[in-house]
Amino acid sequence: MVQLHVKRGDESQFLFNTTVDAPLEAVIHHITTIYNGRLKVERICSEIPELADHGITLPPNMQGLTDDQILELKLGDEWEDKCTPSGGSVFRKDEIGKRNGHAPIEKMKEVLMRTVEEAKAVISKKQVPANICVTVEMIKDALDQLRGAVMIVYPMELPPYDPIRMEFEGKEDLSRTQASLQVIAEDECQLWWAGKEMQRGKKLQDYVGKNEKTKLVVKIQKKGQRAPAREPLVTDEQQKQMMQHHYRRQEELKKLDEADDDSHLDSEWSDRQALKRQFHGLTNIKWGPR
């Protein structure tokens, strides 16, 4: 299997396994599916804690209004009674006025938060140094687990305008949000390796040869952007190790230089002829007038 280390810019995303004879259309399809799927899981995981703390989302025309304004405008939430959490609710007012404040009880909250942590572990970028490859099935399972946890707590489903339900149904509106800049549509995705765009219509082996035991760093970006910067020949970690090795070597050479000091040769105990002179009575001879 060929292992692809997928990056966007200089930031690692995930590892992906494929084969050298895989068409690049299929490789790009799987990579964009995983990449966008990870973003979807991340968005849902950021919303569920709000659901667990403050209940379902208010209707769009009630969001951000004070209680007095809602009464004055005679607005009502028809989904409030339909979407009651299992086991009852506790009131925790949402200060930003986005959710209705009827939060699940602690036991149901734990179900939601435990599932969020499990899903985050699947999409974590820590999978890269752990050498764990991500698959489309892993992303699908994470989404299914999140959907299942929400269904356990809210068996009557969430309101159709709740961002979590919209994410599950693929109806999310990301326009005018930072999240929209992160998503890459499959037909806009480009795959780059070694400063070259890997063209659709070819196979991976057209670029990397037929060796299945290959590891590559590839970069994804939207069509129309300039070519991504090449990977440095030496990573930051490798450079750090090289500098540490260089420092240790300098210290060793410094100690060797100190050990080569020959000033001791002037000492009496190091004189090889001292014993011979003693036998001949040539020690302690003084020259000069009596």
Tokens 């326009």 map to which residue? 175
Domain regions of the chain by residue span? 2-222, 231-261
Which residues of the chain fall below pLDDT 70?
231-235, 259-272, 275-276, 278-290
CB 204 within 8 A of CB 27: yes
Model confidence pLDDT, tens digit, residues 21-61: 999 999 999 999 999 999 999 999 999 999 999 999 999 99
CB 64 within 8 A of CB 58: no
Helices (H), 128-267: 136-153, 163-168, 179-182, 205-208, 236-259
Note the pTM of the prediction, 2 decimals: 0.78
